[in-house]
Amino acid sequence: MPSFCFHNSSVVAVGTFNIYVLQPENLLRMNAIRSKKKVLVMGDLSAPGIRFADEGMNWVVRPDRVSIETTNRDVNCGERLARVAENLSWTPIVALGMNVAFRGEPSAGASGALKLQQIEDAVQCSCHAGFEFQGGILNVQLSRTVEYQELSLNAHFDISVGRTDPDALSKTVVKRCDEFLSIRKEMLDFASKLTNIEINNAEHITK
């Protein structure tokens, strides 16, 4: 059974956000971040927003989304986003995405139902499948380059479907985000059976 290592994970909320409210000093009051440091204002005028880092997490705040990413498998990105949704319950969040990626050596081929085809002279290849998952969609993708092979998982939830009350939307987002680590584990368990890939506890490869 091929062995892969953790590479990164993230959570993304899609909706309408006030980037002037979601500043580090306000997020600190919400207990969404623990310190104010490494704040970098983005210079792309076509996509206004800010970037900053806090305790192994990289935040990107834009008018249409908030994302938190980490390369530490023990860091809970979802819990931090839950605090934002909890404190800004009037903020319309319409969708939530949870992502995790694992990498292995390029020769570490999957042998389950989802696997890459061997194509002569191909320097990159990928395969993808989507499945119903906890009321949303779980996308499973395998890809390979000359440097590594990657298993990428994305769980997408349409939060606004069947819900119009802002308070109900907020509570749904908070619940999902607080369950980030357990949902991520269920995503991995599903994908491991599908691809016959084993995830080990070693440090992630740096390629």
pLDDT in tens, 133-174: 999 999 999 888 888 889 999 999 998 766 667 778 889 999
pLDDT(91) > 90: no
> Average model confidence (pLDDT) for the chain?
85
pLDDT(207) > 60: no
Running DSSP on this structure, what letter comes out for residue 107? T
Strands 93-104 and 3-15 turn out to be antiparallel
What residue ranges in 16-148 does DSSP mark as E strands? 39-41, 50-54, 57-62, 65-70, 93-104, 125-133, 136-144
d(CA 144, CA 102): 12
- What's the whole-model pTM score? 0.88
Instruction: Give me the helix-helix angle, 180-195 and 77-87, nearest 10°.
Output: 140
pLDDT for the residue 163 = 64
